[in-house]
Amino acid sequence: MSEPVLTLEGIAKSFGANQILANVGFSIRPGEVVGLLGPNGCGKSTLLNLISGVFPADAGRVIFCREDITGLGMDRIARRGLVRTFQLPSMPRRMTVAELLYAASARKAGFRSLFRRETDEKAEIDGLLDDLALSHVRHLPAASLSGGQKKLLSIALVLRASPRMICLDEPTAGVHPNLRHHMIGLLQRIRASGITLLIIEHDMHFIRELCTRCVVMDRGAVIADCLPSQLTSNEQVVEAYLGNARQKRAMA
């Protein structure tokens, strides 16, 4: 069995007197698509922020590709191949979609970009825009895109970093149903390319279609680690995440 790409050990975090995370631990193996689930306020986004280096944990360790990255900042973690998207991505007003992707490429390559063939770069970006169904907006300001298009563009930007693992914070929230279907196909292709995914998500259809495994949190702790098909048969999950019989039927 392959070594985990990500391991969390005893992660804890408090803000003032409020303990948000308590002894959180699990591992993710290469190529997995793990859904991070739980009711609002259970600590999912805080955990994603700790993994990606937005702020440090109070206790515990984050191990990525056998390296202890606990306490490193976002940029240093991203350079190691662990990148993320945000629930509400912010885009610059004065750059077009294509310009933003070129800028991301130059930042990744540094001075090497001076020696790279422009035609190769253009072909890569054109192909990425085609895959993301964003070719028709390539010359529009990035900030003018719809919420769903911005989320697709944010995925394009992290792909330009050649990541080993991507963490996504509610990628389908506020996204038109047509784009949700496209996003499922996109993330399936990303997984097929060998990139590991950790996804915070509430859309259960999306979870069933995409995820190979689910980690469920409640009140800052992991209460289940199971297959998507096992969610509705787990009493703790039903009680914490669904809350009542009506919500359980919605997941069926």
For the stretch 87-131, pLDDT in tens is 888 899 999 999 999 888 765 554 344 444 556 788 889 988 998
Instruction: Let me know if residue 218 belongs to a domain.
Output: yes
Residues 128, 197: one domain?
no
Over its C-alpha atoms, the chain yields an Rg (Å, rounded) of 19
Predicted local distance difference test score (pLDDT) of residue 242 = 59
Average pLDDT of the chain to the nearest whole number = 88
Predicted local distance difference test score (pLDDT) of residue 16 = 94
Residues 73, 170: one domain?
yes
Instruction: Let me know if residue 1 belongs to a domain.
Output: no
Pick from 199, 215, 193: which is nearest to 167 by CA? 199
Q: What burial class does residue 109 get, using C-beta atoms within 10 Å of its C-beta: 0-12 exposed, 13-18 middle, 19+ buried? A: middle
**CATH of residue 213:** 3.40.50.300
Q: Among 113, 144, 175, give the residue marking a domain's end.
A: 144
- Do residues 171 and 158 touch, judged by C-beta distance below 8 A? no
∠ CA(154), CA(155), CA(159), 5° rounding?
A: 120
Residues 123, 178: one domain?
no
Instruction: Let me know if residue 60 belongs to a domain.
Output: yes
Summarised one tens digit per residue, pLDDT across range 148-169 is: 899 999 999 999 888 999 999 9
Predicted local distance difference test score (pLDDT) of residue 252 = 54
Predicted local distance difference test score (pLDDT) of residue 243 = 63
Considering its fold, how many domains does the chain have in total? 2
Residues 225, 213: one domain?
yes
Q: Among 109, 144, 179, give the residue marking a domain's end.
A: 144
Residues 119, 177: one domain?
no
Q: Which of 37-51, 126-140, 177-191, 197-211 has the lowest mean pLDDT?
A: 177-191
Predicted local distance difference test score (pLDDT) of residue 55 = 95
Predicted local distance difference test score (pLDDT) of residue 61 = 98
Instruction: Let me know if residue 153 belongs to a domain.
Output: no
Domain encompassing residue 125: 93-144
pLDDT band at 194 (very low <50, low <70, confident <90, very high): very high
Task: Say what the pTM is.
Answer: 0.89
Predicted local distance difference test score (pLDDT) of residue 42 = 94
Instruction: Let me know if residue 158 belongs to a domain.
Output: no
Residues 84, 101: one domain?
no
5 is written with which tokens? Answer: 């790409």
